[in-house]
Structure 1
Amino acid sequence: MTKVDTDNTEDITSDKNDVYHAPEWTKHVIWYQIFPERFRNGDPDNDPHREYVYGPEGWSVTSWTADWYAQTDWEKSLGDKFTDSIYHRRYGGDLQGIIDKLDYLQSLGIGGIYLNPIFDAVSLHKYDTSYYHHVDRFFGPDPKGDEEIMEQENPMDPSTWQWTSADRLFLKLIEEVHNRGMYIIIDGVFNHTGTEFWAFRDLVKHQEQSPFKDWYEVKSFRDEDSNIPFDYDGWWGHWSLPEFKEKDGTLIKPVREHIYAITRRWMDPDGDGDPSDGIDGWRLDVPEEIGKDFWREWNALVRDINPEAYTVGEIWTTKSKEWVSEDLFTAAMNYPFAKIVQSYMIDEDLTASEFLHELKKVRQKLPSEATMVMQNLMDSHDTPRLASMIVNPGREYNENGRPEHGFDVRKPTTEERRLQKLIALFQYTYIGAPMIFYGTEAGMWGAGDPDDRKPMVWPEFDYEPEKKHPLNKERTPDDNNFDNDLFSWYQRLGEIRNEHLAFQTGDFQPLNTDDNRNILAFARFLNLEKFGIVVINKSEEPQSIRIEIAPFELNETAVLKNCLTGRRVDLDKNEIELKLPPVSGAILMPEKQ
């Protein structure tokens, strides 16, 4: 048993950077990540058409409730493999669908929404931007009219920019979100564009004569006489994602100025100095691939527009310590957290004490306020689903997460769902901001891209069972409908976190670890009287657990109650004792009688 030691400054977070500031609101939200094309089709009249997505003869929008691995006739015309056609699919998700489901998100306790890219782009994922200053035409109500507006503008001149119907619908979404006391951030993809980006199209056409010849990392211009092709750097070798040129640790001035212009546009749409009608921040794609000088200048602009804006970098490693600071990002997507949780909870590569020690090492590298606002995710659009990580233990986080690598695509069992619930319990009570990938709370499962991007499972829809296998193997059909029990669990965790300030801004203190029995306990506390205690039994056996709660104080009329069951816990002087079933946990809070 480990006694609480309030003098142990290594366990309790302390100020390491007095200059760093995290906006107050970011300490109190539960995040929800939405992949717009796959969240909800709220307006079938704006669905993408065949010519725009380069679909084959007979192409049409895919049925929202169909078996994910079943191929239609037009898909079969592209090849026998599931992956031959999957990226040509569209399901018609749009902004109206998100607006329609804001009540659902509120019922889940969500306070902040992170949208994957919404800017105009050809692909389903929208990381191949065509226009930064416009929302994707198929996310709004009038795609054809929006295209006509775009053609009237000079993209280089913000004074010519107009508001499309999709832009205006996005501004309505922002308003609806804010009216509910919620916040919204969007993806900023500033390292690369798509080949349909207006400047790149001019470069392809005019080559060395293009005014945008210095915007991109061009290796060679086209010379037909010498048989030299046009060649350029694409992100990680993908020609569909041409990279902006970087010079002296930043992007060249015209590119910076364009990015700064669109930053102002979406953060202060009216341009009146009041950012309340704009987005509340940004998630930045692959920021490590652009120099820090650019990000310092950009973050300074963001905070000048809105001092309470939140910027979060996609940092996969513990290098987040180099990127989260007073002059760079507010936070990072906490992938190190996810990896450590997987190692302990799923792969069982760590003992309970090693688990807490690894988490402590990540905390110690950050300013104390930053530990409260890191996005503590388990899965995202770039990883297998959490449920499928549990089905496939013993794999490197986000590596080999595909069926062709032996990744099992079946639905989790009841026992595996129990582990998912325990992971969620820890995610919601550990220090930092929990972030849920759309559908994780509804029971969705899936391997890595593209299977992590299935259409959202909604309770009002009846979905076809998953019968097909991507490798044409035999498979037992899996029911693929909304999981009400799992949703209720996430809903309850959200209520607990939102009701108790200790789980939002409280310090973190380990209380008890027992490696042999695979149990652990910790406290989140504001002071010695306002605290919560979390107990986890990761073992496959029921456990009776005693925990010393000194120096936390309970007055004579107070007891500890398990928020998950409503049961009171006996207090024997400075110790509590409770029994936990296998793979389960408890959240204990003081309650006056």
Structure 2
Amino acid sequence: MCKIISFDSWNEYFKAPFGALKIDEGAIIKVNSNDENVCSINLVIEKENEDLGSEVIKKITLNTNDRKVYEGKIEALLLPGIYYYYFEVEINRDGHNQKVFYGKVEQNGEACEYAFENLNKYQLTVYEESSAPKWFKEGVLYHIFIDRFNNGNRTGKPSNPKKNSFIYANWEDDPMYIKDKNGDIARWDFYGGNLKGIINKLGYLKKLGVSIIYLSPVFESPSNHKYNTSDYKKIDPMFGDEEIFKELIKKAEDKGISIILDGVFSHTGIDSKYFNKFNNYDTKGAYENEDSPYRNWYTFDDSEVGYDCWWGIKDLPNVNELEPSYIDYIIKNEDSVLNKWTKMGVKGWRLDVVDELPDQFVTEFKRELKLAEKESVLVGEVWEDASNKASYGQRRKYLLGKQLDSVMGYPFRKGILSFLKGEIPSYKLNDIYMSMKENYPPEAFKSNLNLIGTHDVKRVKTELNDDKDMVKLAVLAQMTFEGVPYIYYGDEAGLQGGKDPDNRKTYPWKNEDNEMIDFYRNSIQTRHRIKSLLNGETKFIYTMDDDVFAYERYLNSDEEDDCLIVINRSENYKSINFDLDYDLLDEVGVKYTPGDYGITLEKENGKFKVDIAPKSFMIFKMKHTLNKDL
């Protein structure tokens, strides 16, 4: 069917500005008519309500002088939230006026005709201005699973081993779960990594290029992962104590490295000072004491377990996050969990399973965090597009300005790995990333954590079938992409591993893949050398080749430091023609000195021809000869 109108939300000719809108910002909309029988075009805007439905709030008649270009303006929408829009077109067909409806094509920004009941509407995110601090947006984050990173004790033995636990004989042993006949953990296993071990490796991390350390939970807990908290105000004795933690913060700060903590606030551990099912704590725990100060934190019922627990796991009793005494303890009190550790020098928090936390809790956390430390950052664990995430029947407000500064970039990981594994073509990868860029407020996109591995997914090397060349392409993508690169400890050293617990092996000290470490280090250095890679905008390029992914990073300034990144996943040489508004392309590598360039390309017939080797990448600085002498 021929389209009777043309519109593309990714093209600023049709919608300006591109993407999400601030609450005080409007947008100009243009639609081209392709049929002389079009009588009128209305832009219909809907606002999403609390139950995920939506209702029409505005119908804007687009104006035209020649019946070829229709134009109108979306006035500032004032209230943050998710809005939708579509086009209602009146057309004369066979002497009768009828209405047809145009919405978004599934894979890109173009419009196509739909039956109204199947209409795919355009999302319009409206947000309040908020931004993450510069140190975060221009940083490189390193995620440490503490028990598995490094033991800093002179003896090499674990500190304060827990009762009935299993200590591995060798640092290089593969991790395993020791379970009983019911499949429950019978003994937690430990290697003995601790905070001293991190302190001892700060020099290594600094040399690698790391400026942010995100620690898996540090608080007292019976497990190796610490996501079943026993005491939010105490460092786990196997990791160290408050004095050692303060030393870590200070020595990291001296090297320009900030610390982010993992906050697990949707549930506690069953073996905790708060619940205290096993009476291991000298407190009135909620489990057997109705007059416990923590009793209202939990919901007790007539189930077999006897209480509400997280995802049915009996070791993880859910908390009532909006219980006033819980909010005071975690957030508001002068000595709250948030204030205690933030005032000690912690620069940010990552909220575990943030979709399990009520909006009010996240908003209160952000407000108090900014009061405690103005230059702090709040990150959330979100696995999907965080702009339109829905959980428990509610659309979440993560990126609307009063909650999260940044989220875990799982969509970035899924996209780049799917491309490198040959599961999607390059144009589909462009569409995935463009959809995110359209939906996210600009500051949220620049703060997005571009990860390729975490403790919850397979190691990137394993995911890419141990192909080091492909791993390098994934790393190069995250280091040149818009957002914050996120390194999972050991990925840079060539660690392999399937799902938990295999993805939580110890860091292979003295058995590292030094070539891979050098590649990470040089990629990070390149990121910092080329300013557009650090904080520039992104333009995705449709290469017309399924195997070649390319994008520009550019600065909206007179200072010329723009660049082109080209990634070829195939096992064949590729020749790609680029139509770019520049005069020269000078190749740079991930390791080079000023003036030591690779090839220089000049335009031929108005285009650049780039020849790229199999399973490789190329980075070019893009130059105007009129602006800069070469």
TM-score grouping bracket, smaller chain normalisation: 0.7 to 0.9
Helix, strand or coil at the partner of 2:265: coil
Structure 1 counterpart of 2:586, from 553, 560, 572:
560
Helix, strand or coil at the partner of 1:514: coil
Aligned to 1:318: 385
Q: Tell me, in whole angstroms, the C-alpha distance in 2 between the residues paired with 1:105 and 1:373.
A: 21
Aligned to 2:530: 500
Q: CA deviation at 1:569?
A: 2.4
Q: Answer yes or no: is the 8 Å Cα contact 1:188–1:284 preserved in 2.
A: yes
Q: How does 1:474-493 map to 2 (within 5 A)?
A: 481-493=511-523
Q: Does 1:126 align with 2:226?
A: yes
Q: CA deviation at 1:515?
A: 3.0
Aligned to 2:362: 295
Q: Tell me, in whole angstroms, the C-alpha distance in 2 between the residues paired with 1:18 and 1:199.
A: 37
Q: Answer yes or no: is the 8 Å Cα contact 1:48–1:90 preserved in 2.
A: no
Relative distance call for 1:283 and 1:258 in structure 2 (3 A) is same
Relative distance call for 1:330 and 1:292 in structure 2 (3 A) is same
Q: CA deviation at 1:561?
A: 2.4
Helix, strand or coil at the partner of 1:457: coil
Q: CA deviation at 1:234?
A: 1.7
Q: Does 1:216 align with 2:298?
A: yes
Aligned to 1:364: 438
Count of matched residue positions in the alignment of Structure 1 and Structure 2:
484
Q: Tell me, in whole angstroms, the C-alpha distance in 2 between the residues paired with 1:298 and 1:84.
A: 33
Helix, strand or coil at the partner of 2:432: helix
Helix, strand or coil at the partner of 1:577: strand
Q: How does 1:132-151 map to 2 (within 5 A)?
A: 132-140=232-240
Q: Does 1:420 align with 2:471?
A: yes
Helix, strand or coil at the partner of 2:476: helix
Helix, strand or coil at the partner of 2:543: strand
Q: Answer yes or no: is the 8 Å Cα contact 1:522–1:534 preserved in 2.
A: yes
Q: Answer yes or no: is the 8 Å Cα contact 1:521–1:533 preserved in 2.
A: yes
TM norm structure 2: 0.72
Residue segments in structure 2 that go unaligned for 5+ positions in a row: 1-9, 23-126, 277-283, 389-396, 592-596, 624-628
Q: Which has the higher contact order (CA 8 A, sep 6+)?
A: 1
Q: Answer yes or no: is the 8 Å Cα contact 2:409–2:448 preserved in 1.
A: yes
Helix, strand or coil at the partner of 1:207: coil
Aligned to 2:618: 586
Aligned to 1:268: 343
Helix, strand or coil at the partner of 1:170: helix
Q: CA deviation at 1:577?
A: 2.9
Structure 1 counterpart of 2:563, from 508, 532, 543:
532
Q: Does 1:519 align with 2:548?
A: yes
Aligned to 2:488: 437
Q: Does 1:41 align with 2:144?
A: no
Q: Answer yes or no: is the 8 Å Cα contact 1:20–1:367 preserved in 2.
A: no
TM norm structure 1: 0.76
Q: Which amino acid aligns with 2:350?
A: R
Q: CA deviation at 1:9?
A: 6.7
Q: Which amino acid aligns with 1:418?
A: D
Structure 2 counterpart of 1:549, from 580, 593, 600:
580
Q: Does 1:259 align with 2:285?
A: no
TM-align CA RMSD:
2.8
Relative distance call for 1:344 and 1:362 in structure 2 (3 A) is same
Residue segments in structure 1 that go unaligned for 5+ positions in a row: 141-165, 221-227, 270-277, 392-411, 461-480
Q: Tell me, in whole angstroms, the C-alpha distance in 2 between the residues paired with 1:424 and 1:505.
A: 18
Q: Answer yes or no: is the 8 Å Cα contact 1:562–1:569 preserved in 2.
A: no
Q: Does 1:23 align with 2:23?
A: no
Q: Answer yes or no: is the 8 Å Cα contact 2:18–2:438 preserved in 1.
A: no
Q: Tell me, in whole angstroms, the C-alpha distance in 1 between the residues paired with 2:439 and 2:20.
A: 11
Q: Answer yes or no: is the 8 Å Cα contact 1:12–1:508 preserved in 2.
A: no
Higher relative strand content:
2
Q: Which amino acid aligns with 2:527?
A: R
Q: Tell me, in whole angstroms, the C-alpha distance in 2 between the residues paired with 1:15 and 1:32.
A: 32
Q: Which amino acid aligns with 2:346?
A: I
Helix, strand or coil at the partner of 1:139: coil
Q: Which has more radius of gyration?
A: 2
Q: Answer yes or no: is the 8 Å Cα contact 2:128–2:402 preserved in 1.
A: no
Structure 2 counterpart of 1:448, from 488, 495, 499:
499
Relative distance call for 1:571 and 1:309 in structure 2 (3 A) is same
Q: Answer yes or no: is the 8 Å Cα contact 1:569–1:578 preserved in 2.
A: no
Residues 60-81 of structure 1, C-alpha deviations (whole Å, 9 max, x = no match) = 4431123x1699xxx7xx7899
